[in-house]
Chains A and B, each alone.
Chain A
């Protein structure tokens, strides 16, 4: 297989094809008759996924650098090029994005019955933007994809969302744009400073990282601008309020895309850009304390808020804030284990929260309510849905044997050396997350049936099982045999840690080495 892929030059064109194929799909969907829209999207989605599988096969796990790179000149005088590539970190984001795509189409199959063409076209455009963010190795290109993502998401929430959709859509765009506009200023400033030091104007990621020492004097401001953009996206505690609104109002596919990919863009940004560009400042004791504190506050606060949510979708949205707190903790942990753990939590959270949003969407299609109080005893009428929900909830809680466990465990283990107190608090919060999800499961599926409407609910259809079974299989696989994923992420994590290790405060370096 690998020989065949090499013989067709797979490594050279694959990422560009993954970027262009959905765009071609957008054109096709818009031109073709309305009835074809979902079929065309499904074909494009499956083609995209099959093509992306080659990434998994041919990816070289021992290479911590960028693979599958391609470069085309764009604005050479200004140092801007189309530079793409991926490493162990972005590999899984791209795979998640492409693997989720067919499921999203299946999930929306009947749920979307108006303005069908626009819906699927936007879904495809969103995919290009997502993949673009994770494979861009040029900051100009990265910024373009980062912003372009807003448009499809805005329309998805605003047009196909539920009652309060206009507010949620606007809030989503304003928050993200507010965060990222200063990042643009910071990017231009960085390039100008590096150009003065080296005589070469370039937006290339490698070039900027190599000369990151030139940026050190300006690091506080530049890092803040980047951190704000990414913190809004993660979202870190005080910037998180757009997330519940966007999640609740978005259509199911929008919520899933948000959870699976868009939230990861923030943590990805920290790992890829904000910290490697300004390691000395970002990892200095004060800044690290702020971020770890915010991460822990996010973990605790979101878990507590989840416990009192009457709305199932909002509950899951807040649980995302909690999970992403673990990722932030792992990133600042600064050991191979914690960084790898952070990457794994990103993947695992994508799968399990994505599945939870699908399940809530299925319940909503049946009963047109998201309130916990309106359900009860569904396990008797819909055992398959109940089973799927329970497994996914366990995965999300972090039960050993399912996907949520490994990542959180590695994060806690790897970060303990540097932040014992924070890790202690975060560990105890796992109990809360068990509490809110299990209570929700109980109220939806196990209490006696009080509402007569719930008696007539039908169980999962084959189409819905086609969405759920692959996700649950992935949860089990990741939980029981994570070795292939660990192996592919290790080199990237190690490379990141080696980049930042010299900048970790001296006193704790010894401790973090022990923790490895």
Chain B
């Protein structure tokens, strides 16, 4: 189904999921302005948000199945499988975050239903980021997402750590946005374009001007901040630890997905001819993230902080896929994002349930003896940790294996070996959690009694764990999907004729 993206109608159609969700989030906002007193109101807003997300997912699916593609000329938004898959992933993350928050907000007395509106806004921003083929749109998406997430991080306004997280995230995020914007400006100065593909065409013909190189460097810094890659990761542990737990899960998965997809796009479409310049930078970022993330995670007592550092390490693994600049590598990034997001969401969902009312965070000791009291919860957590570790039989292993294959395919043994050693180190902090849950006795006789999962949380965690195991054992469909998405993406780019806007 070709869509003419020159007219407003065509653009609206191409952005239908975003448009729908935006309209719906305004409706939710109105409802919330009306009813915001009790826990029931909060739940209502949550369910309304889930409904809107489902609608947007339906629109995305429709575009995908209808074979939507652009009618030929350069355009502001992508219409390819890579976008549809990542957009669906983001919508899944958002929906799961809403469902996991339902009980949490009541438990922690955070009865402000605006929470869900902010989640919707952030989701809209992420959707724009993965769909944008133009720096202007990318930046708008990034800002919409970031500002909403800043507020979400500080949502627990009774806790100092939450406020600290928000402020830190805001300051560093603003810094990162400035870098990104400056990079965009320099690239524009060098090429006179903001569209990825047109930039790519401009840069292909010319020799590498200093302006374009500086622009690329600043863009990379901006993206490294957003993806929490070492050495631009300093904010992540405090922010992840301080933010309300479901928001931490949302940040670790959604923000990361949006930022990585945008990074892949920018590097593949705008800077393919600069690969020799950005590949070494990406490689250094990847190695540093894998080493620092994994090693520092060893020293953490708080589970949220541990997962924060491990998410830095996972950003390092993903950067290995970005480094390859091949179809396979981009497919591996997508595959790993799916695996990582599903796994992390479930893990954060379980931590959400374990977290005590008013406590600052969840420590390793807090899960001792968890298996005896809540066997299914502990089992699910165990599967998630094994998947993050990259153990065979789980989706995480498939993702990691595919990343390694993509790197080795480009003769990059070093990154693959560092990745392997990183996994080995990560055993040192995932295993103690498993051990605490299954082999140590409870601290107090009634520990974990108050750990209750809402029905919605149970459903999401169960789905995530089962999908994890299913794709761990039978990954064929999802591997094919990632590969065809990334092939579709490069085919669309290659097909595009040069033209004026």
Which residues of A approach B to under 8 Å, CB–CB?
Answer: 74-78, 143-144, 147-148, 151, 155, 158-159, 165-166, 169-170, 173-174, 177-178, 181-182, 184-185, 188-189, 192
Q: Which of A76, A143, A165, A181 contacts B420 (CB 8 A)?
A: A181
Given A75-B479, A170-B431, are A184 and B420 also a contact pair (CB < 8 Å)? Answer: yes
Q: How close is A214's CB to chain B, nearest CB, in angstroms? A: 15
Given A189-B408, A192-B405, A192-B409, are A148 and B479 also a contact pair (CB < 8 Å)? Answer: no
Given A78-B479, A144-B393, A174-B427, are A184 and B401 also a contact pair (CB < 8 Å)? Answer: yes
Contact A185 B427 (CB under 8 A): no
Q: In this assembly, does B449 line the interface, its C-beta being within 8 Å of a C-beta of chain A?
A: no
Contact B392 A158 (CB under 8 A): no
Contact B431 A188 (CB under 8 A): no
Given A74-B476, A148-B392, are A181 and B421 also a contact pair (CB < 8 Å)? Answer: yes
Given A144-B392, A185-B417, A188-B408, are A177 and B424 also a contact pair (CB < 8 Å)? Answer: yes
Contact A174 B401 (CB under 8 A): no
Q: How close is B36's CB to chain A, nearest CB, in angstroms? A: 46
Contacts of B427 in A (CB 8 A): 173-174, 177
Taking CB atoms and an 8 Å cut-off, the chain B residues in 486-500 that contact chain A are none
Known contacts A75-B479, A188-B405; 8 further A-B pairs (Cβ under 8 A): A77-B483, A144-B392, A151-B391, A166-B440, A174-B428, A177-B427, A181-B421, A182-B420
* Subset of 30 A-B contacts with CB under 8 Å: A74-B476, A76-B476, A77-B476, A77-B480, A77-B483, A78-B479, A143-B392, A144-B393, A147-B391, A147-B392, A148-B393, A155-B439, A158-B439, A166-B435, A166-B440, A173-B427, A174-B424, A174-B427, A177-B424, A181-B421, A182-B417, A184-B404, A184-B420, A185-B413, A185-B416, A185-B417, A188-B404, A188-B416, A189-B413, A192-B409
Contacts of A188 in B (CB 8 A): 401, 404-405, 408, 416
- How many angstroms from the CA of A173 to the CA of B391 in the assembled complex? 12
Q: Mark B419-440, 1 if CB is under 8 A from A, else 0.
A: 0110110011001000100111
Q: How close is A122's CB to chain B, nearest CB, in angstroms? A: 11
Contacts of B479 in A (CB 8 A): 75, 77-78
- How many angstroms from the CA of A185 to the CA of B405 in the assembled complex? 8
Contacts of B405 in A (CB 8 A): 78, 188, 192
Give the most central of A75, A174, A177, A188: most B CB within 10 Å. Answer: A188
The residue on A at minimum CB distance from B400 is A184
- How many angstroms from the CA of A230 to the CA of B386 in the assembled complex? 22
Given A74-B476, A144-B393, A178-B424, are A185 and B438 also a contact pair (CB < 8 Å)? Answer: no
Contacts of A192 in B (CB 8 A): 405, 408-409
Q: How close is B418's CB to chain A, nearest CB, in angstroms? A: 10
- How many angstroms from the CA of A78 to the CA of B483 in the assembled complex? 11
The residue on B at minimum CB distance from A184 is B420
Contacts of A165 in B (CB 8 A): 439
Q: In this assembly, does B10 line the interface, its C-beta being within 8 Å of a C-beta of chain A?
A: no
Taking CB atoms and an 8 Å cut-off, the chain B residues in 184-203 that contact chain A are none
Q: In this assembly, does B72 line the interface, its C-beta being within 8 Å of a C-beta of chain A?
A: no
The residue on A at minimum CB distance from B386 is A151
Interchain residue pairs A-B with the least CB separation, the first 7 = A144-B392, A181-B420, A147-B392, A158-B439, A185-B420, A185-B416, A181-B424
Q: Which of A159, A170, A185 contacts B408 (CB 8 A)?
A: A185
Contact B475 A75 (CB under 8 A): yes
- How many angstroms from the CA of A192 to the CA of B420 in the assembled complex? 17
Q: Mark B69-85, 1 if CB is under 8 A from A, else 0.
A: 00000000000000000
Contacts of B438 in A (CB 8 A): 155, 158-159
- How many angstroms from the CA of A29 to the CA of B405 in the assembled complex? 38
The residue on B at minimum CB distance from A159 is B439
- How many angstroms from the CA of A165 to the CA of B438 in the assembled complex? 13
- How many angstroms from the CA of A177 to the CA of B392 in the assembled complex? 12
The residue on B at minimum CB distance from A115 is B372
Contacts of B416 in A (CB 8 A): 185, 188-189
- How many angstroms from the CA of A15 to the CA of B439 in the assembled complex? 34
Give the most central of B386, B420, B424: most A CB within 10 Å. Answer: B420
Q: How close is A187's CB to chain B, nearest CB, in angstroms? A: 9
Given A174-B427, A182-B420, A188-B416, are A166 and B439 also a contact pair (CB < 8 Å)? Answer: yes
Q: Which of A75, A185, A189 contacts B476 (CB 8 A)?
A: A75
- How many angstroms from the CA of A147 to the CA of B427 in the assembled complex? 13
- How many angstroms from the CA of A188 to the CA of B421 in the assembled complex? 15
Q: How close is A143's CB to chain B, nearest CB, in angstroms? A: 6
Contacts of B417 in A (CB 8 A): 182, 185
Contacts of B440 in A (CB 8 A): 166
Contacts of B476 in A (CB 8 A): 74-77
